[in-house]
Amino acid sequence: MEIRQLHYFMEVAKREHITEAAETLHVAQSAVSRQIGNLETELGVDLFVRQGRRVRLTPIGRVFLESTKQVIQMLDSATQEVQEYLQPERGTIRITYPISMAAYTLPTAISSFRQEYPNANFQLKQNIYYDVIEEVINGEFNMGLLAPVPVEVDKVEGHVLFTENVIALLPKDHAFAKAKDVRLEQLRDESFILLPEGMHFRELVIQACAEAGFEPNIAFEGDDVDALKGLVSAGLGIALIPEITLVDTTPRFTVKKKIKQPQVTRTVGIITPADRQLLPTEKIFYNFLYDFFRH
C-alpha cells in the first residue's frame, strides 16, 4: 500500500468521480483507476460501487475513508513537525475560531506575533463555537481560540488567557443613554437582538437574563456581532455584546453601558487536544499568547 494510493482514494471519495479526481490530481484517469484497483485488490474488498460515470463508497469504503483520513493527518503532522523542529520560526500555526474572535482578539495577537516572527505562517478557519471544539478533537486543528473557555470537555484542555466583560449596546436615544451603567434587570422590558440559535454567546445572554429574573423578549436576530451592532444602530432594539468587540469604536447612533448586578463576563482562551502535543511553531505562539495578554 502506497501513500499515493491513499491520496488518490481520498480524492475519488471526495468527488465521487474518477475523471474529476484525476483532473484535480493532475494525472491521467487511467492512473487513478489503476491505483484504486490495486488498492482494492490488496485489501480484498470493493471500496466503490460504480454507477455510470460516478462512483459511490461502499460501507466498508466509508470505514476505510475515516481511517485513511487519520493516517494522512498523522503523516502530515509528522512531516510538519520534522520541518518545524529544523526551523520553528518558519512553521505554520493553524487555528480555528468563532467569529467573535475575528474582529479584534486574534488579528491583534497575530499582528504582534509576526513582528517578532515575520516568517511564521498562519492557516485560519472561522467556525461556530461547538464546531471549533470538534475540529480540535478530531485532529483537523491543534489550537482553537474560544470564548468562553470550555471546562470538563473530554479530549480537549482549556487555557484561559483573560476574562472580559459583556456590555449593553443601546440606541443613542435610549432612556438609559446618559446613565453611567445599567442593571440587567432594568432591561427586562426591552426588545433584545440576539445571535441565532446554536450560537454559544446567545446561550450566555439568555442565561444571564435568567439569573436577573426574566426571559428576554427576542425581537431580531443577527448572524454575527457586527449584525447586532447594525440592528442596534437602526434603533430596532438592544444587544449584549463582548466588550472587546468595541475596543476600536462604538457604532454610530449607539451608546455602550457597563452592566452591573449581575456583572456579565466570559473567559477567553485557547483549547488544545488532550492527547496530542502542539507542533514546535504552535508552542511558540501558544507561549506568546500567554505573555501578550498578561501584559
Query: How high is the pLDDT of residue 249?
Result: 77
Could you tell me the domains of the chain? 3-83 (1.10.10.10), 87-161+268-294 (3.40.190.10), 162-266 (3.40.190.290)
Query: How high is the pLDDT of residue 224?
Result: 87
Beta-bridge mates of residue 143: 95
The pLDDT tens digits of the residues spanning 82-124 come to 776 667 788 889 999 988 787 788 888 999 999 999 989 899 9
Angle in degrees, CA 171, 175, 176, rounded to 5: 80
> Which residues does the chain have with pLDDT short of 50?
none
Q: Give the CA distances from residue 221 to residues 63, 98, 200, 226, 232, in Å, rounded to whole numbers and listed in that order.
A: 40, 17, 14, 12, 11
Query: How high is the pLDDT of residue 205?
Result: 95
CB 48 within 8 A of CB 57: yes
Give the Cα separation of 39 and 42 in Å (integer).
Answer: 5
CB 93 within 8 A of CB 120: yes
Give the Cα separation of 81 and 73 in Å (integer).
Answer: 12
Is omega for the bond preceding 59 within 30 degrees of 0, making it cis? Answer: no
Query: How high is the pLDDT of residue 259?
Result: 94
Residues ≥6 apart with Cβ < 8 Å to 178: none
Q: Give the CA distances from residue 98 to residues 59, 170, 181, 203, in Å, rounded to whole numbers and listed in that order.
A: 34, 24, 28, 15
Residue 240, φ and ψ in degrees, nearest 5: -100, 130
Using DSSP, state whether 39 is helix, strand or coil: helix
